[in-house]
Each structure stands twice: as C-alpha cells, then as structure tokens.
Amino acid sequence: MIAQIVDDMVGSLGFSGCHWHGKIVLLKPNLISAGGPGFSCTHGECIAGIASWFIDHGARVVLGDSPAFGSGKKVLEKHGILQPLSGMDIRFVEFTTPVEKKLACGVNVNIAREALECDFFVGLPKIKAHNQMYMTMALKNIFGVVKGVNKAMLHMVHGGSHDHFANIILDLLEFLPDQLHLADGIEVMHQSGPLDGNSLLLGCLAGARSPVALDTAFLDLLELETGRCPLWRVARDHSMDGSAIDDIRFPALQPSDFYGSGFIAPSSLAGVRFSLLRFMRGMLKRVFLRVGERDSKHG
C-alpha cells in the first residue's frame, strides 16, 4: 500500500519512473535513539515500502543516519526495523566519515561523507513535537547529516538562540544532492518530544521536493502557529521557496482534510544550548554504547 502511495506521490512531483534507474538513492530516516519508543523513529514498514518502490524502479538504495546516541544499526535492531527490510537489496551505511564544510552563516560543520555520496537524498522524517525546536519534520531531519558528536558540539557552542541554530540547519541544504522528502506522519508524537511524547494516529504520508514546503504544509495541517517554529520562521525571513502556504500546490489531499487531529505542540521551548555537564554526560554515554556494541559483535 505504501509503495502505491509513493508511486502516486512521486509522479505528482514530476518524476518519471525511469528517472531513478541506476541512481544511488540515500534514504535518510529519523533513527534518533534505540532508547526511546518505537514511534519516535520512522516506522520500519514505511521505510520498507518506500525502499521497495525505489528498488522496483531500478535505484541502488542506501539507508543511513546518525542517531543522537549509538549506531544506526543498533536503532534498526532495537525497534524491529530490520525485519521488514529483510531480503531487500539495501546497503546500510553508518555516517562515520567527516567532511568539514563552512556554512553560509560562517559556522564550520562536519558533515558525514556518506550522506553526500548519492545521486538523490531522500529524507524520511518522522513528524514529532520537539521541546527545543517546536517541531521536528523534514528540515530538522536534515540535521542528521552532521556526524555524531558534532551535533552535540554545535548545540553547546552555537545554541545561544533558536533562530541561529535554525539558520545552521537551513544552511546544510546547500551541500546536499538533489532532494526528495517523504514524511512519516502515520503515527506521530505530540505534546512533547522528540523522545518523550505521546502517540497520535494521524494517518498521513506526505511528499515534497522542498523540505521547507513540507514543513510549511505540516504546520498548517496540524493547525499550529507557524511563527513559533524557529526553522519555519528563519526560512520565511530568508524568503525561501516553500515558506508561503499559498504558493504550495496540493495535487491530492489538502492540509484542511486533516484539521481537527488534536495534535498538541510544546507550549514553550527549552533552550538549545547544552551545558558542559550535559555534553560530558553525552560523551560518556556514547563511549559506553560504542564499547557495548563492539563487545556484542565479538561476544
């Protein structure tokens, strides 16, 4: 069923079926952590349905992410995502090789080379509330291309304001290959997040070439105050394509078809900056997880 929806969606976005033949397509889901609930990550059946569609259309499919803690493979195992992917011609990669880039805002970041070595970057975000950034959708999912511990370092050094941090994430778009974003809004997380919220069945799978447009559409679909979302606010201030809802074309369902979902976003935002204590605790947790994963491989 998901593969059929993807077929209709991708066609409406102007891609022909033969467009993908022989292309390397990186699927970048949200694999935030093995420690949270399963619905904090992009659902395995959703990933499998999308992957099967690309494989059927001749693409060479790669799957990768850089979780907040631990390896992507560990998250896939813990949440049962490997099972629906079993037997599929998919190459899994860990985002481990840093490539230093200077963003337009002047900040230097280490982007994972594995996220750049593809013909198409296909974001598979999970729609969730976010206690620091209001919502995590297509744009926030892109932050996962920053390699491992460097994400925490950016929080600590450049987390002085929500808008500055949002600007860093938006500037990452410059370095990505051609993009497509297919969002898992089937079972979403609301009230709190990105790990500690409550489940809400929304039943929505959405797609766009522009992550800005996808986020704009979901803010409307969920009847949220757009100005409270730092990523959307900065995109609007920069007059980025997709930041105006009236400029977005909806060939299938409209955002209004989902009005009344009951989605609740955080009432106030926590600071973006990590304290030194939180940073050091995170570093120790990463070390312990790395040792544990290494021991499990050799046990």
| Residues 68 and 162 sit within 8 Å (Cβ to Cβ) | no
| Summary mean pLDDT of the chain | 91
The range of the structural domain enclosing residue 114 comes to 2-298
Note the pLDDT of residue 25.
Answer: 98
- pLDDT tens figures, 13-22: 988 878 999 9
Q: What is the CATH number of the domain that holds 220?
A: 3.40.50.11440
pLDDT bucket at 298, cuts 50 / 70 / 90? very low
- pLDDT tens figures, 198-239: 999 999 999 999 999 999 999 999 999 999 999 999 999 999
pLDDT bucket at 277, cuts 50 / 70 / 90? low
Q: Could you give the number of structural domains in the chain?
A: 1
